[in-house]
Amino acid sequence: MHYVEDGAEALARAIGIRVRQERNGLGWTLDRLAAAAGVSRRMLVNVEQGGVNPSIGTLLRLSDALGVGLPALVEPPAPRAPKITRAGEGAVLWTGPSGGRGVLVAGTESPDVVELWDWTLAPGERHESEAHAAGTRELLQVQMGSLTVVVGIESHELKAGDALTFRSDVAHSYANPTGEPTRFSLAVYEPGVGAGHRTEGPHA
């Protein structure tokens, strides 16, 4: 059972195995993948050895360079049959300083990847996200509390029940400015993963 070890350690180990499998499947060296993803060789080695919990940004760069999509790095390949993720089984890919969490609960395969996230932000917490690949879009709905979403230079204040759709190929952030917890569902659509768009043009 994977519950014997710490969840974060198990996830880091699983991600490392998947990154190495995908890299070997392409016949790429460490240096080639590091260059394609725009990460340091040292970081890539640490990821593959399961010795580090990489940021969401680093995982996105690696998954896109490998052409597999982020969900493929946090769960084993599955047949086309429906896949259930039970409560509490999602991949925790971000943990805030006060206990907030970003949990990837479901995702589709490349080339057109859709991710479904369950986010909680403790009072005062903020998550900064770098610009995603060109054409990436996000949809979110606040389930509880209040949320401030900054997209580029525009700020949006949302309450429970409010929803927002935006292009996330610019820097953006999610913040809880209140004294109460915030929870929101987030869907991310990233088209054409593996088409090399992250290394072309101004969005590289």
| Domain architecture of the chain: domains with CATH | 2-78 (1.10.260.40), 91-190 (2.60.120.10)
pLDDT for 76:
60
| 125-163 pLDDT per residue, tens | 999 998 888 889 999 999 999 999 999 999 999 999 999
pLDDT for 81:
67
Residue 104 pairs in a beta bridge with 91, 117
What is the helix (H) or strand (E) element at residue 36, kind and residue range? helix 30-37
E-strand spans in 112-176?
A: 113-121, 126-129, 137-144, 146-151, 154-159, 163-167, 172-175
Q: How far, in Å, CA of 14 to CA of 166, rounded? A: 31
Q: How far, in Å, CA of 115 to CA of 73, rounded? A: 12
- pLDDT < 50 regions, the chain: 1-5, 196-204
- Report whether 130 contacts 157 (CB < 8 A): no
Q: What is the pTM of this model?
A: 0.68
pLDDT for 197:
38
